[in-house]
Amino acid sequence: MKYGLAILLVSTLLPSVPQTSHPVSHETCEKSKLFVARNVVIWSSPSSPRAFFYKAGLAVDADGAYRAYHPNDRFGLDSLNHAGHEGNWWALVTEDEKTSGRPVVQLESDPAPGFYVSTTALYDRDNPRARDPHRYVDAATIPYVVLHPKALNYARLGDFATVVNLQNGKISEAIVADESAANLPVGEGSIALAQALGIDSNPRTGGKDRDVAYVIYPDSGNRRPRELKEIVINAKQLFDAWGGLDKLNVCMARAEPR
């Protein structure tokens, strides 16, 4: 299946990129509290490149995946109630392009006929066809981060990010591609991101409730979706310039309550 091959590509490509190590004995972490959202503290780092970071869990987001949602709920990768409900479809394309409209079903010429067209907040503005599934960021193949609305006061859709599973040490480059509801827990990412981090990537049952670190680089993107290769190259360069894994470990240790 194309979906399976795409996940295999992400899981093999991302972890294969070597990460630059910096001597931990020389690493420092200047930081200040930026804001708090849902009991998660987001810290700002004044270094170059600018970044903010936080530690949370990871809820798995299927939005933008071709098979994310289906009229028959059990066929979708994720439960349909995560896309909205009748009268308020916040994650689906509708016939009149209003949240109150009727969801659009993919045609035979689309990647997943019979499935709904699922959206992400980041989309290809050069593609005027709202019903085209390719217009949005595919959660199954692209490692992306979902930011809390407060965080989007400091970063933009399309910015690059680095995400680390602090339990197993796996690192993934990512792009900011979606916005969460203000009342949801902080810490969310795509199917492909979870897969790259060695986390159960099933949107219905997977995810992780803690020990995932996120580093976001404000104004690093161009507000457009990117190919996987571009995400890997750009985010890796930013993470290395910021200080890499050793600096993140120091920052995370010093961010713990005493």
Q: What is the CATH number of the domain that holds 178?
A: 2.40.40.10
Give the per-residue pLDDT at 245: 94
Report the alpha-carbon angle 142-219-140, nearest 5. Answer: 10
CA 258, CA 39: separation in Å to the nearest integer? 16
Residues near 70 by beta carbon (within 8 Å), at least 6 away in sequence: 76, 80, 114, 115, 116
When divided into structural domains, the chain yields a total of: 1
Give the per-residue pLDDT at 201: 98
In a domain, 124, yes or no: no
In a domain, 127, yes or no: no
In a domain, 166, yes or no: yes
Torsion of CA 199, 176, 241, 195, to 10 degrees: 20
For residue 257, CA distances in Å to 95, 161, 253, 254 come to: 49, 25, 9, 8
Query: What is the model's pTM?
Result: 0.88
In a domain, 36, yes or no: yes
DSSP-assigned states of every residue in the chain: -HHHHHHHHHHHHHHHS------GGG-----EEEEEETTEEEEEE-SSS-EEEEEEEEEEE-TT-TTS--SSGGGSSS-GGGT-BTTB-SSB-BTTSSTTSPBPBP-TTSSSTTSB-B--SSB-TT---TT-GGGB--TTTS-EEEE-TTGGGTS-TT-EEEEEETTT--EEEEEEEEE--TTSPS-EEEHHHHHHTTS---TTT--EEEEEEEEEETT-S-SS---HHHHHHHHHHHHHHHTHHHHHHHHHHHTS--
CA 179, CA 141: separation in Å to the nearest integer? 18
Please give the chain's pLDDT, 258 residues, in tens: 444 444 444 444 444 444 444 444 346 788 899 999 999 999 998 888 999 999 999 999 999 999 999 999 999 999 999 999 999 999 999 999 999 999 999 999 999 999 999 999 999 999 999 999 999 999 999 999 999 999 999 999 999 999 999 999 999 999 999 999 999 999 999 999 999 999 999 999 999 999 999 999 999 999 999 999 999 999 999 999 999 999 999 998 865 554
Give the per-residue pLDDT at 5: 41
In a domain, 74, yes or no: no
Give the per-residue pLDDT at 48: 86
In a domain, 80, yes or no: no
Give the per-residue pLDDT at 11: 43
In a domain, 129, yes or no: no
Give the per-residue pLDDT at 2: 42
Range of the domain at 215: 2-20+28-62+139-254
In a domain, 101, yes or no: no
Distance, CA of 9 to chain centre: 17
Q: Are 72 and 79 spatial neighbours (Cβ–Cβ below 8 Å)?
A: no
